[in-house]
Amino acid sequence: MAEFIVTEAFGGAGEVGEQVVFEAVKSAYAGIDALGYWRYPLVTKETVREPDILLAEPELGLVVIEVKSLPIDMLAGVSGYRWDLSRPYYGKMVLNPYEQARKQAQLLAELAIRRGNLGKLRARALVALPLITREQWENRFGHLLIETPLLCADELTPARLRAAVERAAPIRYGEPLDDDEWQAVRRALGTSGAVPKREVKVPALSVPAAPQRRTDLLARASRHLHAFDLQQELIAKTIPPGPQRIRGIAGSGKTVLLAQKAATMHLRHPDWNIALVFFCRSLYDQIKGQVDHWLKEASGGQQTLATAGGKLRILHAWGGKDQPGFYSTLAAQVGVRPLTVVNTPDASPTAKLLFACQALLIDAKATGRSLQVFDAVLIDEGQDLVHEEPSLTFEEKQAFYWMAYQSLRPVARDSLFDTGEPEARRLIWAYDEAQSLDTLAIPTTRELFGEDGLSIFGAGPTYKGGINKHEVMHRCYRTPGPVLLAAHALGMGLFREGGMLAGLTTGADWRSLGYAVNGKFISGQTVTLSRPPENSPNPLPGFTDESLVTFQNYRDRQEELRALAANLKRHVEEDGLHPSRQLLVVIPGLKGAPFGLQGQVFEALRSAGLSVYLPGNRDIDVPRQKWPDTDPNGFWREGAITVSPVMQAKGNEADVVYVVGLDNVARNEDHLPMRNQLFVGISRSRGWVHLSGAAMERSLLQDEIERVLAAGDTLSFTYRPPRRNLDDVS
């Protein structure tokens, strides 16, 4: 069936006619397999602006419709594709609408051909005139040889509209698409077809190759083509006229989609001030690279993050002395000296930041100075910017989020662009509560804004035009299904002897995260969970019989570290894996505890002749460095294996992940932040996860891990109400 996407709410100048035509196109193609966009994000010097309406259909190929809402008396004359006007049309006295639509259709066809290898793709273009009937046009210009394909006001019924489209001469000839080619077109227009491809290079080996090398399996998996994902399109390509909450399972692509959304906003509204904000500094390079990629994709390579200048900013939530952040930028706006880690109370990184945000809000209120700087703020890793401690809130609101909300200018609106509320601000945040490492608070609307949440979002689940106010992403692209099952089971304690520690308590909530559910969530009853393949499309499990998740308990730490070094050396020398970005060692632990084990791992790997990088260092193969020999944004270095505490690994990923020192988790097996660390560590993997610890015999955690791994691809457990309820209560 047809799928249509409105990328921004109707209501701007000249958009009444566009809405009329778009609704007519939806009606005409509603019963067949088609894909349509209002304002598909593609802006180049040639096309000037996005196509008003893009329609893709197997028989037609691509169709671009340019809408001109002008009455017949505005047309003074028509010569070829040139239209002379009797009075200005949005400041113009001459129009060439067909040439504009033709260029847009040509560029879109080239894009689809490049992404999908579609040599026989058809394309055509039309001009829609919702205020002029065919009779009016013929009476005025019928004596001229007019080559512009038209869709007139009296041709907006389904049958007549389809006939007008089919009459339009192709600008690119081709053939009807078969099923595989049609899916390729959908992927090419969608996010999945434009995500940067990860090239898996197969190096020359100095030792005999393993029978089934992991590098070969990964190269095969990297060639897998993901299907068009409608929800990804609705998140990445739409611009809501107010706040939007995005809850996404680990590996669902939240960071990628927020980067694309920020790029789309900038291209469509280059005058806006936009901020994309995140918590973990090691994500700087990744997020900047993503935003730059999407700007290039949607502009034919003509716009980049550099050309965006200060209008589109990638900002760490706090900021440092060598790099501005979101908080420090707003402190400068108010005219106060920003607080730093040193002059805030001794607490966790999140708590320190929220203390600073609270102080800034108090200063702004006391001085009457406005924080309003931005037109849109997008927040990644939203779960790390809240805290359950009441003393860190501001007027019963989460301090960081209220600061972000206050930094936004209200959305301009007129009678056609109204959500029913006095004002709205574009605050968009994405989160996964299972990855929260510092707090038990969940960034739901109620938690963030208290009693003001309803007035901020307004009534109803969608904005006028159909853009959702809330999205829940259930499809995990990064982490293979068996690995994600193990991550949730261990992170929530589903098989724990004393009952689950955290988790969802309804079938509906589990299904919203992509699980199939059997059983009722009644204390003492058996519940069975599994992940349908379509919700975990990573193909690696189908390419190998090898278990993707393993666990090994060693006699002591030295034995664990010797085995770790030997395994990593084998991956490099026999499996053909690259040390950087394909191999990762993560270490769970509270506060400063992981750094001691990080140092031990460093020494063991260096003794085995492996190069090592510790995140935050400037150099490889050296212990933890101190300022100024540091790189706070660093997480990878070419040729070196990264060894990282879980907190610094958030948002990063690798093909093979080792989570070491689980005996430290076993000593605090009922501690929720440690369980969340276990979940984050495991879910960094695109392929294999190897868990290990020392002297864990007879520990509750070892027994639990072994039960989880024995369960395979189906988790059956006895339900008991958890200590931390993760249900979606917004």
Q: Same domain for 373 and 468?
A: yes
End-to-end CA distance of the chain: 31
Separation of CA 529 from chain center? 25
Please state whether beta strands 3-6 and 75-79 pair in parallel, antiparallel, or not at all (unpaired): unpaired
In a domain? residue 197: no
Burial class (CB in 10 A: 0-12, 13-18, 19+), 307: middle
Q: Which of 189, 204, 220 is the last residue before a domain boundary?
A: 189
Residue 340's Cβ-side half-sphere holds a number of Cα atoms within 13 Å equal to 7
Separation of CA 526 from chain center? 34
CA separation for the pair 551, 546 (Å, rounded)? 13
Provide the CATH number for the domain around residue 621: 3.40.50.300
Q: Same domain for 467 and 486?
A: no
Q: Same domain for 458 and 488?
A: no
Q: Which of 423, 448, 473 is the last residue before a domain boundary?
A: 473
In a domain? residue 355: yes
In a domain? residue 140: yes
Token pair recorded at residue 250:
């680990």
Identify the pLDDT of residue 355.
97
Q: Same domain for 465 and 489?
A: no
Provide the CATH number for the domain around residue 50: 3.40.1350
Q: Tell me which residue range forms the domain holding 669.
A: 481-725
pLDDT digits (tens, 9 = 90+) for 318-330: 987 788 999 999 9
Q: Same domain for 244 and 108?
A: no
Identify the pLDDT of residue 80.
85
Please state whether beta strands 53-57 and 35-38 pair in parallel, antiparallel, or not at all (unpaired): antiparallel
Q: Which amino acid is at 34?
A: A
Q: Same domain for 442 and 500?
A: no
Token pair recorded at residue 675:
């369980």
In a domain? residue 218: no
Q: Same domain for 259 and 177?
A: no
pLDDT digits (tens, 9 = 90+) for 320-360: 778 899 999 999 999 999 999 899 999 999 999 999 999 99
CA separation for the pair 730, 709 (Å, rounded)? 34
Identify the pLDDT of residue 415.
34
In a domain? residue 137: yes
Provide the CATH number for the domain around residue 328: 3.40.50
Which residue, 388, 402, 316, is CA-closest to 348? 388
Which residue, 141, 172, 173, 386, is CA-closest to 279? 386
Q: Same domain for 582 and 650?
A: yes
Q: Which amino acid is at 36?
A: G
Number of other residues whose CB lies within 10 A of the CB of residue 373:
18
Q: Same domain for 422 and 501?
A: no
Token pair recorded at residue 136:
């009016």
In a domain? residue 75: yes
β-strand partners of 554: 694
In a domain? residue 201: no
Identify the pLDDT of residue 203.
56
Phi, psi of 704 (to 5 degrees): -65, -45
Identify the pLDDT of residue 417.
44
Identify the pLDDT of residue 204.
54
Identify the pLDDT of residue 420.
54
Q: Tokens 């800034």 label which residue?
A: 360
Q: Which of 154, 189, 224 is the last residue before a domain boundary?
A: 189
Identify the pLDDT of residue 436.
86
Query: Is residue 382 a contact partner of residue 430, using CB atoms and an 8 Å limit?
Result: yes
Q: Same domain for 487 and 631?
A: yes
Q: Same domain for 515 and 583?
A: yes
Q: Which amino acid is at 680?
A: V
The number of domains in the chain is 3
DSSP string of 161-201? Answer: HHHHHHHSPEEE------HHHHHHHHHHHSSTTTSPP----
Q: Residues near 235 by Cβ (< 8 Å), separated by ≥ 6?
A: 246, 257, 261, 471, 473
In a domain? residue 219: no
pTM above 0.85, yes or no: yes
Q: Same domain for 399 and 437?
A: yes
Which residue, 12, 3, 10, is CA-closest to 467? 10
Which residues of the chain have a pLDDT value below 50? 205-206, 208, 415-419
